[in-house]
Structure 1
Amino acid sequence: MSEEILTLPGPDGQERSVRLSNPDKRVWPESEHGSAISKRELAEYVVAVGGPLLAAAGDRPVTLQRFRGGVSGEEFYSKNPPKGLPPWVRTVMCTYPSGRRHAQLVLDEVATAVWAVQMSTVTFHPWPVRADDNDRVDEVRIDLDPQPGTGFAEARRAAHALRELMLELDLTPWVKTSGNRGLHVYSRVTRTHEFLDARHAVIGVCRELERRLPDLVTTAWWKEERGERIFLDVNQMCRDRTIASAYSPRPLPAATVSMPVRWEELDDVSPLDFTVRTVPAILADRGDAWAGMGEAVGDLGAAFALWEADVERGLPEMNFPPDHPKMPGEPPRVQPSRKNAANWHDDGSPAGA
């Protein structure tokens, strides 16, 4: 098996050596979008975008989306750091919804990201918290997910409206492509709220946007209720739920990247503009669209007040992901079309429980 040794800069003038085995191995196969992309090319991409990638995903617990045999092979997620962790790679202990705890990788250096590529990582999924206090959220994330009958154009309309709402709430919004059909809108916030309260603040924002644009967006958890609208996925703010990082490649045929864009250019871009092969030149030409994000820190108070006002109006808690424990006030975890009201209490617990 062939291998290469990459020498990469570390902290305080140090150098890191990262072994790249089988560098010509195909990560993306040849497709209508272009020739195959090798592990070496993916590692070179990570080095090229290293600074902005670390600005977005660094100093956070990160889950690795890995593939055996390239993106067309077996997919799996690593929450525990892979075996063979170099001694200079940091980890941090995280608590999961079940109460279980274990370490997760932290991206402090470009060399760590390249080592993750060596371990078959394609996509980095950071938590919305910092490593030194991973119970307090420091950024909110809203996933605008097009449902059948909608696409990127509708997601753009929803994103612009969401931007205006967030500005009203003294939150500075930043947008990126998902790498697929949707968009992600982020905002950095002071570390004053834990996951449940941050999720409730995002529910308040998304319900307000739904009131303003009922024919365009929906917060409905059940697919049968969403219709041809953009789904606002509030559960991305739950503990242990993550979104592909900015500048992270996606395991899609075109090797697209989840790419930050400026609001003024959003209407002129397409997800296919941003790939492993095109992004380094775009970044070198116009810089990081998220530069300054770390200094634009808002407060969740006004957003959380929207949630509290909805509670006073009688609006209920929303469904949590199925891997989370049942939460107080949560509606029944059963599709509305399959729900027999006689079998459920008003608090969402099964009759007879």
Structure 2
Amino acid sequence: MKKIGVLTSGGDSPGMNAAIRAVVRAGIYNGLKVVGIKRGYEGLINGDIEEMKLSSVADIIHRGGTMLRTARSEAFKTEEGFKKALNVIKIFGIEGIVVIGGDGSLKGAERLSQAGIPTIGLPGTIDNDLAYTDYTIGFDTAINTVLHAISNIRDTSTSHGRANIVEVMGRHCGDIALYAGLAGGAESIIVPEEEFSIDEVCKRLIQGKNRGKLHSIIILAEGASKNSYAIAKEIEEKTGIEVRITILGHIQRGGSPTAFDRILASQMGSKAVDLLIQGKKSRAVGIKGNEICDFDILEALSMKKKMNKDLYALTKILSI
């Protein structure tokens, strides 16, 4: 193998740049030429490709987002679009590709591997919704962003004696809500994986108010069964406590990655290059028990994500 490519696909996540940097520099260190494919699979179809040098990835490890930019590509899912991508790969002489993204991106990587292009997937998503890895690139930064927001909201919530619902991302995975809520001392954490009782939430708010508490924080994962406004309305009707809503949205995807995400992304990027050099294909790189590991992509995607129930139980104990 003499030439490899790297792309970022789907939603961006802090640490993607650190992963790109690791792929480029590990590739060059091992005597490979490395090209950057811009705008994910869409850029692959359109041949938006440039050679990467050591200087191409200088001063990016601390930056959020992705220097290669990203996009979601419906065209890549079609036979016509996929054939164009394969033609571009052949024209540019790319012999292996590292794909950084979420589950949809990894599915695209597996499809390329089935077509004869050795492809390695890295889990780049803030959602932490891939079961084969303990942590995804960007998750740690996202929960720290939420934690900072909780601290700010608590200040103003205390001043007004209000309850505040903070809605966080995660699609159908409640990990951002769970981890940030536990670290932020939230009174209630509502996640898609667990049924919740609005009466229990109200009880906690009333108990807190009765013992002189001036604020209450409720963390809501976006994939939960009820939305922020419906929950706020019910709480106000049942308790008379004023509720404000903060939807953090895409602020969770931005910002400088934490040390954990930079190190994780660097390890995974280097591992991906090693796998390609070894002649491996259709592998998903992850971390299990502090060890960088890899799985067959189809096997990785077939694993079912399970919420940490012990951690969830702990939040109920600590928020009494």
**What is the TM-score when the length of structure 2 is the normalising length?**
0.27
Larger helix share, 1 or 2: 2
**What is the TM-score when the length of structure 1 is the normalising length?**
0.26
Q: Could you say which structure has the greater relative contact order, defined with CA pairs below 8 angstroms and 6 or more residues apart?
A: 2
